[in-house]
Amino acid sequence: MNFPDAAEISPFELAVRLESGEAIQVLDVRASERLAAGRVEPVAADRFHNVRGSEVVRLADPESAIGLTRSSPVAVVCGHGNDSRVIAALLEQRGYEAWSLSGGITAWMRMAVPRELDPPPGFDRLVQFDRIGKGSLGYLLVAAGEALAIDPPRDWAPWRGAAEAAGARILAVADTHVHADYISGSPDMARTLGVPYHLHPADNVWPYDGTPGRLEFEPLSDGTELVIGGRRVVAWHTPGHTEGSTTFVAGDPQDGAVACTGDFLFVESIGRPDLAGRMEAWVQDQWRSLERARAEWGPAVRLLPAHYASDAERNADRTVDRSFGEAMAANATLRVQDEREFAGWVAANVSTPPDAYPHIKAINVGLLAVTSEQADVLEAGKNECAVG
């Protein structure tokens, strides 16, 4: 099918321009019920419009009808970037500066924005990759020309690009745990680059019935050291969200380390321990992991989670991290001092998990194969990995 010759904007460019504060309007031409599967953010409420494309075509004057002003550019969004080209071309004919979002919301959900964080002592770079559509985060640690990739998704090219820009070679890939909300790119990345894939063996299983996984990986245990550029990254076994949940600590945990906590610990919550239907046992593991962190991490340890729930967890520069001391003061979970009270709080605050999560888990342990299109459907929507 031939589509009109409309101007396009990439997901990355749109994200950068929105985050810089440009007054860009977003016109999402999908049915309103599709918004739950993901939408473009951050956009002020008065600049976001959701009107089906068939209705936009019939509007004589979109400005008076839906408040779409000609004074600011419009990014038109659909599922895959096809219908949006038709609407963007129509708006251009009516005097708007309009772009079609290339690849649509599907491409937006895959897109990752790299953000620089201060590296821990002895390391040269620390990059946080922000999948805005998912609320998911991954990391690249660089020291002396070598790098470790942590929690990359299917589209892991930004990790390789950041390493190349730093003049570094990725020596290893690691997952903090087997994810439920998105499909890991770690096995493919490790195979493609010819480097080890690291995972705790307790997670190489479909936890819903105990079926063993089929992953090829280098097993992690508590205290395993991954050496990057002569610097140590130490694996801490922090079970609770999953049985193999692992936190990667770079630096001295009493003085200025960073802790890639995965879904063990978030800025304002913790990872839910109920995804496999074994909450009673896993919430006990989660409590013990939290007690260990409170006992052995100093207040200066910086927490780098694998997810965030909202922009409220961001810093002013849109990065997501907190010192352990700040988290202790702000994260209500960390202030609970009684295990029974903790278990009750978790039970009262977990929601029904998405139906897709068992399928994604099966993919991530090598038990199920899906097409790219099927993967996009399974991954749609924000993560729901936190308690609360």
Distance CA 284, CA 289 (A): 9
Count of residues for the chain? 388
Q: Tell whether domain 112-379 is in CATH 3.40.50.2300.
A: no
Write down the residue that tokens 């480097």 correspond to. Answer: 195
* Helix (H) or strand (E) segment spanning residue 150: strand 146-150
Selection from 117, 174, 169 nearest residue 143 by Cα: 169
Domain residue limits, the chain: 8-108, 112-379
Distance CA 177, CA 183 (A): 12
pLDDT by position in tens, the chain (length 388):
455 678 999 999 999 999 999 999 999 999 999 998 899 999 999 999 999 999 999 998 899 899 999 999 999 999 999 999 999 999 999 999 999 999 999 999 999 999 999 999 999 999 999 999 999 999 999 999 999 999 999 999 999 999 999 999 999 999 999 999 999 999 999 999 999 999 999 999 999 999 999 999 999 999 999 999 999 999 999 999 999 999 999 999 988 899 999 999 999 999 999 999 999 999 999 999 999 999 999 999 999 999 999 899 999 999 999 999 999 988 888 889 899 999 999 999 999 999 999 999 999 999 999 999 999 999 999 999 999 8
Q: Tell whether domain 8-108 is in CATH 3.40.250.10.
A: yes
> Three-class SS of residue 76?
strand
Q: Which two tokens stand for residue 228?
A: 């990057």
pTM tops 0.85: yes
